[in-house]
Amino acid sequence: MTEIPSQSGATTAPDDETTASFRVRTSAAVDRAGDALTDAAGKAREELTEFAGAAGEKLHDFADRAGDAIGDAASKATEEIAEATRNAVEYLKNNATIPSERGTTTIANEVVEKIAGIAARDVPGVYDLGGNTSRVISSLRERFGLGEESKGQGVHARLSGKEADVTVVLVLEYGFVVNSVCDKVREKVISAVEALLGLDVTNVDVLVDDVHHSETGPQGDAEQRAASYSSDTRGIKVGQ
């Protein structure tokens, strides 16, 4: 019987030492892979946490700013509503009421202001009524044909029941004594308002806002009329 020679290329089974070495290397590779995954997961968690924190801070800041803006808007709206309410109440209150036998007479403050303005303009030495702003607006209204100058310009009346408290702002004509002119304005206003409207004028404040100087001097007979005026003059009647 012929003996078959063994094949030189046949694979030999690994010994125990080789298997153990392979297992060690494989285990180390698995450990390294696990460590890498753990590190990656840790970094991912840190980045996500940082991102979430930053996003949370931004959202918190945005919410704070939005809350502040809403609060400011609400506060301004409340103030504007309160101001409008006060103005409306003040307007409704600023009327004079005169009870009569069969009803009540109500006089608006604009009526008092117009009559007081007409009376004040009639005093020699009064060049104009109103402060700088009101006079400029009045001039523009006339220039552009938007209406004539208001007779109540420069006059403010505060009314309560039958009582009236009046303030007159005027421009003095140069050459007239301030106290004399102001006294005459006060007397004229009191006389006109009380005689024509039946109100009790409790106070008239006069504010001299400016002085007008003209090269031609006082107009008409104003200088002659003013010569007889003194701070002791009383009882000026309406129209005189």
Domain map of the chain by residue range?
17-93, 96-227
Name the DSSP letter for residue 6.
Answer: P
Cα radius of gyration (the chain): 48
pLDDT-derived band at 224 (thresholds 50, 70, 90) equals: low
Whether the pTM exceeds 0.85: the reply is: no
Q: How far apart are CA 7 and CA 1, in angstroms?
A: 18
pLDDT one-digit tens code per residue, 63-101? 888 888 888 888 777 777 766 655 555 555 688 888 888
Nearest-CA neighbor of 122 among 147, 150, 151, 157?
151
pLDDT one-digit tens code per residue, 210-221? 998 876 555 555
* Residues pairing with 54 in the sheet: none
Q: How far apart are CA 75 and CA 72, in angstroms?
A: 5
Is residue 236 within 8 A of residue 193, CB to CB? The reply is no
Percent of the chain with pLDDT over 70: 68
In CATH terms, 96-227 corresponds, of 3.30.200.20, 3.30.70.1350, 3.40.1260.20, 1.20.1730.10, to 3.30.70.1350
Checking if the pLDDT of 155 tops 70, the result is: yes
pLDDT one-digit tens code per residue, 4-42? 555 555 555 556 677 777 777 777 777 788 788 888 888
Write down how long the chain is: 240
Query: CB burial class (10 A; 0-12, 13-18, 19+) of residue 119?
Result: buried
pLDDT of residue 146: 46
